[in-house]
A and B are shown apart, each in its own frame.
Chain A
């Protein structure tokens, strides 16, 4: 089953845990002002990345990431 990654950028403070867990899917980018914010590189990542994507969502300190299994 394919995964679908959603993020609530308003809650993100750029802690970068997702980037450490799964750099294939998440990046953290500087903004014009304020905190750097998560950027999703693959909205529908392949199944081989399932564990890593779920870990990124689980360990995000601000609950920014949700993963839907469609």
Chain B
């Protein structure tokens, strides 16, 4: 994107139906993913809508999305767009830190997700899945959204904070987490500090979580000769450029940010995968055949073994295409921008919709159809059209972890159990009530031992 020069620049076309005061907020709240698709249909590549006074320009199509995703923070700021996360992650953490400190914090976060740690995490996940199904018996019926929320909270806690914390985890911890998630609904992106019961619950949860996590940090500092191999260890040993370590508050914030980034996004996707397995038995058979061949001799689900499971991967890619957990990515415009002759002024928000992009028939023919056999979507050619993890320099750093985890879960489950829908197929729908997409509740499936 070029800097704007004093030439004749157009302004982005505006989406119709704006109401005084609230702008398009009401329509957005009904179903924000569909609202964004409507914006693109009406206005094209650039579409300006109004979120209770915050002018937002939706950028659609691979070219605009590439420009959005490749532009760095000093021009298109994530921090300014994601202030809603500040009360959730904490003061001074990531989007509330100075640009320098934010970069270091994100770097330390990725250090915990590098190859060396991933091997360890793969073993943890395989163990957690085994423990989870241990008391399933031969058949039964479960709400798989609830189940995966619980499973991925266990795996996230285990990988981040170690086995001690994981196995002593209380219901209190789970409910605190739930309160934090509810603190990130659409209204928080307008003003995260207004007087609202959900925000009070969020602030209480953040404070209490800090007490819980600080206690582990203190315990570890007192036993500094022990090795843990988890993310907390990486966070505690990370330093800023001047050599100073992260504070307790920052470490706590990083733990919360990491869990938050990985938890509900993964549980929602896992639940959708389970539903699609039940809804598409023919595909499930094909993947079962693949898994049986690959893991014929009872091979363990290690990081290496999980690297390449092509049919399962195509299935997962297709689930992420139709049900991308993060629908809306946003940035705040810091300096005026000239995008192909259109002026996007400083102070506006720019946004892209993964959900809309993944339903562009030009790149994904018959887009509403679930079809894991379509040409590979997770490919360099479609890098800016297929964007479940965003892309460019700020791509979701947890993408490899997330995909490894999903493969591990289903490589363990599918050979042991078959899944059936309990309700009519069309009743399993996307739930757009939170910012993170998931299947609607109840999400009940029947399982039966093979």
Contacts and interface: CB of A to CB of B under 8 A. Distances in A.
Interface of A: 10-11, 13-17, 19-20, 32-36, 58-59, 61-63, 66
A11 B103 CA distance: 15
Contacts of A58: 308
Contacts, number: 51
A46 B115 CA distance: 25
B114 A14 contact: yes
Interface stretch (B104-112, B161-169, B342-350, B406-414): B104-112
Contact of B399 (A14, A59, A61, A66): A61
A10 B383 contact: no
A34 B113 contact: no
B392 A15 contact: no
9 A-B pairs with the lowest CB-CB distances in the bound complex, closest first: A61-B400, A16-B115, A20-B115, A16-B114, A34-B103, A63-B380, A33-B103, A17-B115, A35-B107
Given A33-B241, A35-B107, A35-B110, A11 B115 contact: no
A34 B307 CA distance: 27
Contact of A17 (B380, B392, B395, B400): B400
Given A33-B103, A34-B103, A15 B70 contact: no
Contacts of B400: 15, 17, 61
Contacts of B100: 33
Nearest to B381: A63
Contacts of B103: 33-34
Contacts of B145: none
Interface of A, secondary structure class, is: loop
A34 B399 CA distance: 18
A10 B110 contact: no
B107 A10 contact: no
Contact of B115 (A15, A33, A35, A62): A15
Interface of B: 70, 100, 103-104, 106-107, 110, 113-116, 241, 307-308, 380, 383, 391-393, 395, 397, 399-400, 403
Nearest to A60: B400
A62 B104 contact: no
Residue of A14, A19, A58 ringed by the most chain B CB atoms within 10 A: A14
A19 B118 CA distance: 14
Contacts of A59: 307-308
B380 A34 contact: no
B392 A10 contact: yes
Contacts of A66: 380
A11 B110 CA distance: 14
Contacts of B307: 59
A66 B381 CA distance: 12
B305 to A, nearest CB: 13
Given A17-B400, A33-B104, A62 B395 contact: yes
A10 B393 contact: yes
A20 B115 CA distance: 7
28 contacts: A10-B70, A10-B392, A10-B393, A11-B391, A11-B392, A11-B393, A11-B395, A13-B110, A13-B395, A13-B397, A14-B107, A14-B110, A14-B114, A15-B110, A16-B114, A16-B115, A17-B115, A17-B400, A32-B241, A34-B107, A35-B106, A36-B107, A58-B308, A61-B399, A61-B403, A62-B395, A62-B399, A63-B380
B383 A15 contact: no
Contacts of A32: 241
A63 B377 CA distance: 13
Nearest to B119: A20
